[in-house]
Structure 1
Amino acid sequence: MTEPFSPPRSSWFLKFCECTLGVLAALTTLTSVLNFAPVSFLHRYGHYFNNLLITIVFVSFLGGLCYAIIWHEKEKAGEGNSGIRHAVLQGLIRYWLAYSISVYGFAKILKTQLQSPEFNLDMPLGDLSGFALTWYYFGYSYTLAVILGLFQVGGSILLLFRRTTLIGVMVLLPVMVNIVLINMFYQIASGAFFNSVIYTISLTFLLLLDFKKLKAAFWDLVERLPRVSDKSGVLKNALRFLVIAAAFTTIQSYFVIHKTDNVLKGTWKVEKLTKNNQTVESAAWLTDTKAWNKVYFAGWSGCAFSPNPYRYKADESLTGSYEFDSLKNSIRFIHANPSRADRRIDTLMISVRNRSPKSMQLHFIMSRDTIEMQLARLR
């Protein structure tokens, strides 16, 4: 006769984590009904839910603590069925994660997430918040949004089966860690950040449940290929170090060979523009693309003379690369000459005068015109 399965005793900390996440799963699932509340209801009573996230965390922590203590004491007394409790709580966590993460996946596929409002599209890039930038960036390609959504939905489906839970965790965990970092550093809404953190913690918990399997697969597994003769290991370690050092040296040498400008770098406003000793009116840019109002020095990204004082547009601006010599106070500006039909590359030598951190003058000759510009730093 087959004896009933009796799992080994688990630590109190494991029970506490499992119970806390289980209570958290139940509470967040219950509060998800607020997503279907009318907008008028949320406007009227929304302030009552300002501390809802903190309350959920506190109740989950307290409930998990109390239940874990009671459960652990019963287990020590030989009472209760710990195997069933583990199965129910871990199942609750898995199904809750599958539902919650797949909701975000379907939101990307069905275009209810990563869609920028029209008024954001007409805002200057520098005025957009991290949230708006993130939404526009990821929403720019619907194909990418679908791929991300499919990873979330596919990984969630794998969580629904005990046999494929570990694979599902390994699919979803990198995705969720990336989302946590984006939510943290791009100031995404606090609710989304909270959700991404608890999903990541829960996935990590499920991953650690199979720590022995992971250790056996990724650490204890013996490599089948023969070892290259190096008894001391010094040569191999030196080679490993050289690989990383070579990568660093490659980029560092680029800095040395291609020096970037950090002196002029920034956005400059043209306070006064004279051409052949005649002052160019500030509104002349409406009909003359050489009536510049802003100058952008962007280091490796190049330089641009823009006529429009409100926004930059490449096809109406004079753009190219530049090298600044701080000793000679001169700029070597390499650009495509717009006055030539073949847009032949020309080199323009610009003299910098009265340079200070906040202002400077540029003097150069272009297409037989003597040009002087008084610039003031904007940023």
Structure 2
Amino acid sequence: MTATPRSYWFAKFFECVYLLIAIYDCLMMMWGTLLYKLFTSFGDVSFARLFTWIIIGMLIFSVVYSIYWNQKSKEEGFNSEIRHAFLRGVMRYFLAFQVSAYGFAKILKTQFGHVYMRDNTPVGKLSGFDLTWNYFGHSYTFAIILGLLQIGGSVMLLFRRTTLLGTCLLLPIMLNIVLINVFYDIAIGAFINSIIITTGLLYLLLLRWPDIKPVLFKEVVKSPLRLSFAKPVLKLLVIVLAFYSIYRYVVAVPSSAFAGKWKIQQFIRNGKTIGENDWMNGAQNWCYIYIEDDGRISFCANPYVFEANRAWFGRYSYNAKQKTFDVHFDGGTNNNTTRVKISNYNGKQMQWDTKVYDDTLKLKLVKE
């Protein structure tokens, strides 16, 4: 007789682990602060050791009980279904609580809330966590929509009839959150929690695989239009053309060896050295030059933050034979091109000699 998913040992083990995780989470919610203070009074190592032993104990108990359960389920008259129903019910309710809590946190602004300190922090200095928080917190409307989706999906998990729909709604959201937690260096606790929630949702989805499989792999009615040879070619052509549409742009605009943020270490205008604080006296007293891969260039006087309203913008092209930049400033005429002679370039520093309007400039640049 073919084994059903409910007869697998791993299903029993996973459901036992999830029950213990739910119990542990509830206990930590009620007494977590007290336990943390108690064990950290003996040092941070004590709390970490306690947490490690709790995890090991949960795994050992789950392995032992699931093996016992698996053996007992082979006996006639042993009701394994009621245990599955109970454990999966706990899983659904636990997931609904966890995800909806995150949803309410977004609506009530305890997540993605405004942090005024970050307003004056340069973007380049923000951590991955701060960038994520600022990005998603920029629009409160978006936070509300995301929160409502999480709450709505959680409500669906509370009812067996709508569990599959709730799982399909929440799983893409949680997978996205897991990727953000991994690649944007979000706190380890948030990452672990997202993994627990996502694996639970995946498990609930796999339980309904017999219902999902016919929908995903249902045999379709053959089209009366017969293109047996051309159809594979057309399918491949769609992907190839999509790749080429972007690749031709990459080839047309290759990466520039000069791209980057360049600090003006020495600035001489008409034989006179520009001082460190002269940037406050005029937007033409640049401190930084920003060279982009796509041919854009910008000059900023403020050494601390990029001021778009005071910056000079333009486009450049590099002549490799003559080792020169041709810079065309925004707002200038087509004939008003500034030629820059580049010397002593080694990838980290270079010197510019040029004439901008009526001023003769000599710049020493260092790449940061």
2:215 aligned partner: 217
Distance 1:198 1:85, change over 3 A: same
- Farther-moved stretch of structure 1 (317-326 vs 101-110): 317-326
| 1:199-232 CA distance string (max 9 Å, x none) | 111110100001111101111x2324635313xx
1:25 aligned to 22, 25, 33, which one? 22
Q: Under a length normalisation based on structure 2, what TM-score does the superposition of the two structures give?
A: 0.91
Instruction: Give yes or no for the alignment of 1:250 onto 2:245.
Output: yes
3-state SS, counterpart of residue 269 of structure 1:
strand
Structure 1 residues 262-341: aligned runs within 5 Å: 263-300=257-294, 302-337=296-331
- Farther-moved stretch of structure 1 (14-23 vs 113-122): 113-122
Contact preservation (8 Å) 2:6, 2:84: no
2:86 aligned partner: 88
Instruction: Give yes or no for the alignment of 1:147 onto 2:136.
Output: no
| 1:167-226 CA distance string (max 9 Å, x none) | 11100111001101100111111110000001111110100001111101111x232463
Cα offset for 1:270? 1.0
Measure the CA separation in 2 of the matches of 1:253 and 1:364.
33
2:362 aligned to 365, 372, 375, which one? 372
2:190 aligned partner: 192
Distance 1:16 1:23, change over 3 A: same
Measure the CA separation in 2 of the matches of 1:331 and 1:203.
56
Letter in 2 for 1:249: Y
Distance 1:55 1:348, change over 3 A: farther
Gap runs ≥5 in structure 2: none
3-state SS, counterpart of residue 73 of structure 2:
helix
Structure 1 residues 87-236: aligned runs within 5 Å: 87-219=85-217, 221-224=218-221, 226-230=223-227, 233-236=228-231
Measure the CA separation in 2 of the matches of 1:266 and 1:109.
39
Cα offset for 1:265? 1.1
Cα offset for 1:14? 1.8
Structure 1 residues 49-68: aligned runs within 5 Å: 49-51=47-49, 54-68=52-66
3-state SS, counterpart of residue 362 of structure 2:
strand
For this pair of structures, how many residues does the alignment match? 363
Cα offset for 1:164? 0.5
Distance 1:349 1:53, change over 3 A: farther
Contact preservation (8 Å) 2:295, 2:317: no
Distance 1:9 1:163, change over 3 A: closer
Letter in 2 for 1:178: N
Measure the CA separation in 2 of the matches of 1:202 and 1:86.
14
Measure the CA separation in 1 of the matches of 2:100 and 2:352.
58
Cα offset for 1:9? 6.2
Measure the CA separation in 2 of the matches of 1:20 and 1:51.
20
3-state SS, counterpart of residue 337 of structure 2:
strand
Distance 1:28 1:59, change over 3 A: farther
Distance 1:283 1:38, change over 3 A: farther
Distance 1:168 1:227, change over 3 A: farther
Gap runs ≥5 in structure 1: 1-6, 338-342
Measure the CA separation in 2 of the matches of 1:157 and 1:321.
54
1:350 aligned to 336, 340, 346, which one? 340
Cα offset for 1:324? 2.0
Letter in 2 for 1:80: F
Q: Under a length normalisation based on structure 1, what TM-score does the superposition of the two structures give?
A: 0.88
1:77 aligned partner: 75
Measure the CA separation in 1 of the matches of 2:6 and 2:116.
58
Measure the CA separation in 2 of the matches of 1:140 and 1:123.
15
Contact preservation (8 Å) 2:93, 2:158: yes
Contact preservation (8 Å) 2:5, 2:207: no
| 1:236-262 CA distance string (max 9 Å, x none) | 11111111111111111011222331x
Percent identity of paired positions between Structure 1 and Structure 2: 37
Cα offset for 1:358? 2.0
Cα offset for 1:292? 0.9
3-state SS, counterpart of residue 322 of structure 1:
strand
Letter in 2 for 1:155: G
RMSD: 2.5
Contact preservation (8 Å) 1:28, 1:56: no
Contact preservation (8 Å) 2:325, 2:341: yes
Cα offset for 1:18? 1.8
